[in-house]
Structure 1
């Protein structure tokens, strides 16, 4: 039972009704109060409290007042004797419950086994389902230990059943092919090195390896992997009835074990794991091939542009002031129209300047574009052209839009001619040009032979096909069969939307009728514009100027000085806990929160003693979170060696376990906070990204155009008191809008996010639209505030809002929103449910897909919502301060990353994306543990009267638990499980 109940909830759930008071008629004192507690507890939880402490004190106090028994009498209630057994019998009888029998337990086990796959094979989910079944069947739950045994039996039964199903669908040839994947490359040698960390290469290891950086070699390597996976011969319907999360769980388990351990499993278990691995790996490799294709085609064009620019502009001097030169030329020509050019023109504008003007025009005109195409053709024809047959041989592209049918036909033509050496296509071949070849390249693609006949150049045509294919793949108008992220876009949407439409609309809190939706938004626009227009003349910080046809001039906010008492507080914390080890902070958090309980073996059994495992987990998490590596930690003053740490990292530390541990610590922070210091629970967070250097032999690492250097981005969601609730590993060019929505929707902590602060890169019109549909506010700090435009709520109001005329533009197309309202809600539901990756869904709504009607409607909706926001932002200084303070918090979080993630120059030294993500989540966990311990330290200090009296409103406003002047992340790595940090007295700790 939850611990905190307000008075309204107590009245609603714990008020004794007349028939319940009748049961208390013959009871007095502690017995009367104890029975009332059992009665109402059972009514809420459908079970009895195990110990006295299970009942919140507020509940006991509220019931004590009703039965007119002092609250202290509850301590005297006999928790072990015959009376409580009789009372439990009375309560069961009152609610129509009975005790669980052996037969009931067997029925429950079978029921759970049938639903175990749908519940993700998670023990916690099965326990919750069992509790619901018992309540509905009016059965009192058994002891916790017995219920866990029933759940474990159901899990075992479900997995055995799945093993049999998978094994029964695999042919003998497929089973032999799966076993062949586990054969090491060299026989007669030990399968692993002496430290048990460097397995010899096998086909399984090759298939598990990530794709390299974009290049022809990577494409050919991935094609070979895909062909080998398909040669295994898995049935197409093998996992059709199995939830994707279950398949992913088995795939992760298989990837975490070396071949020798996989071979030790019973045949049915081994084939289930390997089949899941091959099934998911095939989809991942197809995604990787599409990604490689997109990157390579972009690279061909980008390199050609750079090369041509270097050649054309290395000696090209741009001519400044061409407008004035033109005027001077015109005046000279008009004054002396009959004289020679050399006598009239050259004295005004020299011959060299005129040559520079001509060369500059040629460099920016058709000749420049033709030169780029020539370089692209040479690069593609001499090197990259070899990838086309390989990709077309293993990948099938489709489209559900007839507009893109010519591209699909063109791909078929390319596949038909893969073995041909002809320079041109056959004259009688039907070659789609419209929608494939841009008009500017048509003269290069369609050539004339000696007889004057038009012939299509194969190389030039292929380059055009790949270019348009890249653009269509990026917005998923064309998709790859068998892919996940680049697969059928219709499968990204909830398949039962038509049947469940009312429920989905209700979940989003949106009306079924678009009329009400539009009316509410239109009213908000009118109110916002009226308020801004009416207060503009008195608003000293906002001015509308005529610059550029209308410009919003906004006075920057003045910087606020750090309150003096906050500096004194930091000094006091550093005095009380000087140079606290970061490893001790992680350990203390675990001892209080139990974060290591979230890490379980990827196999079915755990043989390590829990204390040993806890110690090794903490060392591994510290090594990953600081980026120092396991070898450095293994050299510390403890008994754990490198091999043991590698084993624990591989078998226990996975992405899902790390996220669960983070959620546990985040929720512990929310519970530990005192409202006197931190205020009421916040519903706002800020999100931003930070670049980390990384090795570049993978598809995620990219060159960052703003910060320079190769690396990846980590996108953080941080609430206003420096608690990071979600983190994501992204490429440098990935959508920050998708990352923002993903974190708000799927952070899984106890926080209810209703506002999200972002910078300019985290917002767009589509982002405003989806945030409005999903029920939270997007609040950006816009760098380009001056050039923003406000949209009119309706046509025919050209004279309305006179003070805003220069920044007002056209009215919103409400009819388009009305027509596409259902489709917009459908996509918003897909984002909420997570039926596909957020970025995969949003990929459809980019400028590459301007004609998509739903995209156009989302843009219209986004313009309306953004107009409402801009009106509030410009009118309210307090809102601007709120957004600025929120973004300062996430920037402070970013600044602490380098302090903690200091190893190897803060560079992710791995080419495996899985390892990079593990490092990111470990950093997140370590930093959130620092916030948790700092929260307790600050509360310990401010709990003293002499300190609490000094803290003013400004001090509490600027208070943050993300401080580290008292922390030492370096030095020797000593872990003593018996040593504790002095955060409170022993009694308080207990």
Structure 2
């Protein structure tokens, strides 16, 4: 489908090459500052008007990449900034300069002096087309995004912007060329037989009315033997197409993923109607991507099945032990009597055996020992073996297929276990209950006791379970992995290395502000740590919140909790007045009004990447978003007779428009718009954020949910781990199965966010607390600030063993191993660069570095660096009450945002009924988007309310304004009839009238 030329919205087309508001102070300094060369060109010009006109045009050219003919559209902030540099007042009649011949002469002369090239000039035009084509080929970006990037490229390379139609036509043409090339190359990959097989999956079965494609799309949801067979059958069907033999190295992975997503979303009939090359290319991409995902699904099933089996058998063992407590008590009492004799009789001449047997018969002691052996297990035994063995016949129903199917690879740490897997694959089918020998690298003493019998032979049953659980353990630390994979690959292989690392290494050092030499890099950290110790020690006697107490022969740090700050009367009165002034919209009205301001619904594009725009699409998008965010389904928002709100239309929009990348794009628009609001900037500058998890029960069968009785009761659930800025907006979120430790995910959420906010300090609860995380955050230039609930257990580290820190010497007993940091410095920089450049997933890398609680050498080195940052943070946390209160305030903002999200997500008892990970992510991200819309709506109307209160002569304190919150929702109607009708005043571009102010 050709890319339409009119892919820009009317607002985007109007703002092209124009000022969209006042430039920020940083932008004014970057583009409008006049250096010596600029001033030299200004001197020959006569009069203030010509000099100011020239200078403003020069800054405009640098900022916009073109000239602005209408002088009245240039922001006053720009003119004042330039006039201030020239030490002049703005002359009268500057608007006449904009339409004068002098201005046109200035533009021609300026273009030549500063070496700007017309858009059509060669070879610049050819380079633009080549760059645009490479970008279109390598990425699956929407036309509007490609247009924005092309505009930035032209500005950066000093090429004058062409007309908006010229550039949109070029983007559409180049994008179509790249797309056509992609389709042709992919369609040529399979053989004739493979093409026929691919086409056949679109055929409809007359009995089921389903296609084979429909079945291949569905991932397994049951962690059972039947689920295993379904997952393995699906994998076998996908592998049968022969994708492993296709050479696709020249095809960008992002383009493959985009085509596969399209194939996974649209109906098979729509694929069947495509032109041959496009249809075949889409099917090829689907098979390639879904073969990898199907393999990942088998591994996820393996993980979930063994984890549940272990938990289930342990529960049964615990119940069994409860039933045998009486027997265990009797055995323990008998053994107690025997031990009492040993302890009480100190006469060396006493025959202890006779004395013991006089009290407890030999037969009773033997019985007691047998009872203890039967009813107890070693302290390090984490699996109930006796309850596990009966499941062996069930496992064997699927084990041969599993052993033959999975192409595991291993790091050096996992080679021994991989050999055991191969041994099991080669010998599992033998009709024997034991083997004379088998690979047992990594086997613990507890496992060896049940695997190796008294005769020295290896139990087939026990050995099988050991291999399976050992595989699970190393898979989670990524010492065992498969290739290719989205979730279970080797993150270490994704690190920048070799020539690729050397090429970007200088840029990494500049970006992260690190020295290449380890000693030079460690010097400032050493000084900063020493200063932090000295400062905290100097304030210790005057800090009433901290003290050291002796506990069990050791010094224990005690930090008094923060006292609650009572809200002043002026703040309570201001909150009440602002709340009384806010209009009372319904949630659909609110969404449509926010779209009217921001155009966020225009970010939802068709999954085919074409320009399918239908009338009132924004209305349909807002209805679908509300249905998902409120967890109520489509029925309550359907309105018969309104085309944009009919069921078929809403279903079509939900399937083709609402997905991860469009939700992200729309959320970015809301966050960036909100960040520019004056009231939001009073609350914060977007430099601080908090991360916390919101839990949802998932009552449907799914692999992407985990158990945790504290949060999910007897069921399973997911964690919506989201990031809240100091402006109350949510700028990113991750959906985690169950309740994985937050520290594994916090860095991924920070690095992957795409908004204009750039938080450098991230605050979390104690769950996000580890030395490795501190180290990675420090390497990447972030401040990690967890709220510490257990600071009494914290360890303080020092570099200089001889330094005197006064009272803190009693705490600073641990020594940082600087030699580890120095030895691994370049590898640490490589890790930081890979994370910053996005070549490796942060969560997977952290799991690999932690190595199941036994960090790798590189992980230990990063942890040592983290101890420097952690100790500095701990000292600041102890020393500064305002810092502790600031962390608490930000975390409270995140919790208040969760409360609003709970209120919005009211349908189906607040439970998430999505079986697949992608569906869970899309629905919860729709929730986050709607919450952001509420935050933005509240913020803008709170600004209006504050202005009215001030206008009526009431004094408003800045401190009170800073403590207001846009998370209130009592004035918003969440329930009831959803009309999706915008008031006329809003449709005309105005805000709603405020409610009456109750004086």
Say yes or no: TM over 0.5: yes
Q: Aligned partners of 1:491 and 1:186: how far apart in 2?
A: 47
The equivalent of 1:149 in structure 2 is: 169
SS in 2 for 1:691: strand
Task: State the number of aligned residues.
Answer: 959
| Contact 2:744–2:843 (CA under 8 A) maintained in structure 1 | yes
| Contact 1:688–1:890 (CA under 8 A) maintained in structure 2 | yes
Shift of 1:604: 4.5
| Contact 1:174–1:234 (CA under 8 A) maintained in structure 2 | no
Q: Aligned partners of 1:107 and 1:953: how far apart in 2?
A: 52
Residue by residue, what CA displacement relative to the aligned partner does 1:238-265 show, whole Å, maximum 9, x if unpaired?
Answer: 4312332222211212212110001111
| TM-score normalised according to structure 2 size | 0.88
SS in 1 for 2:325: coil
Q: Aligned partners of 2:62 and 2:548: how far apart in 1?
A: 63
Gaps of 5+ in 2: 1-18, 995-999
Given the alignment, which residue of 382, 392, 395 partners 2:406?
A: 395
Q: Aligned partners of 2:839 and 2:564: how far apart in 1?
A: 44
The equivalent of 2:417 in structure 1 is: 407
Residue by residue, what CA displacement relative to the aligned partner does 1:635-656 show, whole Å, maximum 9, x if unpaired?
Answer: 4895521111000111111111
Given the alignment, which residue of 552, 560, 582 partners 2:587?
A: 582
Shift of 1:812: 1.2
SS in 2 for 1:749: coil
SS in 2 for 1:20: helix
Q: Aligned partners of 1:725 and 1:888: how far apart in 2?
A: 17
Given the alignment, which residue of 35, 45, 67 partners 2:64?
A: 45
1:60 corresponds to 2:79: yes
The equivalent of 2:384 in structure 1 is: 372
Given the alignment, which residue of 643, 646, 649 partners 2:651?
A: 646
Q: Aligned partners of 2:993 and 2:133: how far apart in 1?
A: 43
Shift of 1:472: 0.9
Q: Aligned partners of 2:366 and 2:958: how far apart in 1?
A: 68
Q: Aligned partners of 1:249 and 1:520: how far apart in 2?
A: 46
Q: Aligned partners of 2:440 and 2:259: how far apart in 1?
A: 46
The equivalent of 1:868 in structure 2 is: 872
Residue by residue, what CA displacement relative to the aligned partner does 1:415-461 show, whole Å, maximum 9, x if unpaired?
Answer: 11343333223x4xx621232x322222322236xxx5x32222211
The equivalent of 2:489 in structure 1 is: 487
Q: Aligned partners of 1:358 and 1:882: how far apart in 2?
A: 60
Given the alignment, which residue of 960, 966, 978 partners 1:961?
A: 966
Shift of 1:499: 3.5
The equivalent of 2:943 in structure 1 is: 939
Q: Aligned partners of 2:282 and 2:727: how far apart in 1?
A: 43
Gaps of 5+ in 1: 190-199
Q: Aligned partners of 2:725 and 2:445: how far apart in 1?
A: 51
Flag the 1:910–1:778 CA change in 2: closer, same or farther, 3 A. Answer: same
The equivalent of 1:420 in structure 2 is: 430
| Contact 2:492–2:845 (CA under 8 A) maintained in structure 1 | no
Q: Aligned partners of 1:569 and 1:967: how far apart in 2?
A: 19
SS in 2 for 1:893: helix
Q: Aligned partners of 1:100 and 1:543: how far apart in 2?
A: 69
SS in 2 for 1:545: strand
The equivalent of 2:215 in structure 1 is: 206
The equivalent of 1:284 in structure 2 is: 293
Q: Aligned partners of 1:834 and 1:335: how far apart in 2?
A: 74
| Contact 1:214–1:296 (CA under 8 A) maintained in structure 2 | yes
Q: Aligned partners of 2:354 and 2:428: how far apart in 1?
A: 59
**Equivalent runs, 1:280-679 vs 2, <5 Å:** 280-316=289-325, 363-366=375-378, 372-379=384-391, 381-401=392-412, 403-425=413-435, 427=436, 431-435=438-442, 437-447=443-453, 454-495=456-497, 496-548=500-552, 549-610=554-615, 612-635=616-639, 638-639=642-643, 640-674=645-679, 678=682
Shift of 1:552: 1.6
| Contact 2:693–2:719 (CA under 8 A) maintained in structure 1 | yes
| Contact 1:625–1:922 (CA under 8 A) maintained in structure 2 | yes
| Contact 1:694–1:909 (CA under 8 A) maintained in structure 2 | yes
Shift of 1:86: 5.3
Q: Aligned partners of 2:783 and 2:733: how far apart in 1?
A: 20
Q: Aligned partners of 1:339 and 1:235: how far apart in 2?
A: 76
Shift of 1:543: 1.7
SS in 1 for 2:453: strand
Residue by residue, what CA displacement relative to the aligned partner does 1:133-187 show, whole Å, maximum 9, x if unpaired?
Answer: 6567764322011101001100001111111111222211121121122122226
The equivalent of 1:783 in structure 2 is: 789
Shift of 1:958: 2.0
Shift of 1:333: 5.6
The equivalent of 2:923 in structure 1 is: 919
Flag the 1:751–1:368 CA change in 2: closer, same or farther, 3 A. Answer: closer
The equivalent of 1:164 in structure 2 is: 184
Residue by residue, what CA displacement relative to the aligned partner does 1:904-930 show, whole Å, maximum 9, x if unpaired?
Answer: 111111212222111111111111111
SS in 2 for 1:12: coil
| TM-score normalised according to structure 1 size | 0.89
**Equivalent runs, 1:688-703 vs 2, <5 Å:** 688-703=692-707
Q: Aligned partners of 1:282 and 1:117: how far apart in 2?
A: 23
| Contact 2:33–2:82 (CA under 8 A) maintained in structure 1 | no
Shift of 1:963: 1.0
Q: Aligned partners of 1:355 and 1:804: how far apart in 2?
A: 57
Q: Aligned partners of 2:576 and 2:556: how far apart in 1?
A: 47
Q: Aligned partners of 2:940 and 2:367: how far apart in 1?
A: 73
| Contact 1:184–1:201 (CA under 8 A) maintained in structure 2 | yes
Shift of 1:860: 2.0
Q: Aligned partners of 2:358 and 2:382: how far apart in 1?
A: 32
| Contact 2:224–2:305 (CA under 8 A) maintained in structure 1 | yes
SS in 2 for 1:601: coil
Flag the 1:680–1:40 CA change in 2: closer, same or farther, 3 A. Answer: same
Flag the 1:114–1:776 CA change in 2: closer, same or farther, 3 A. Answer: closer
Q: Aligned partners of 2:527 and 2:489: how far apart in 1?
A: 40
Q: Aligned partners of 2:236 and 2:415: how far apart in 1?
A: 27
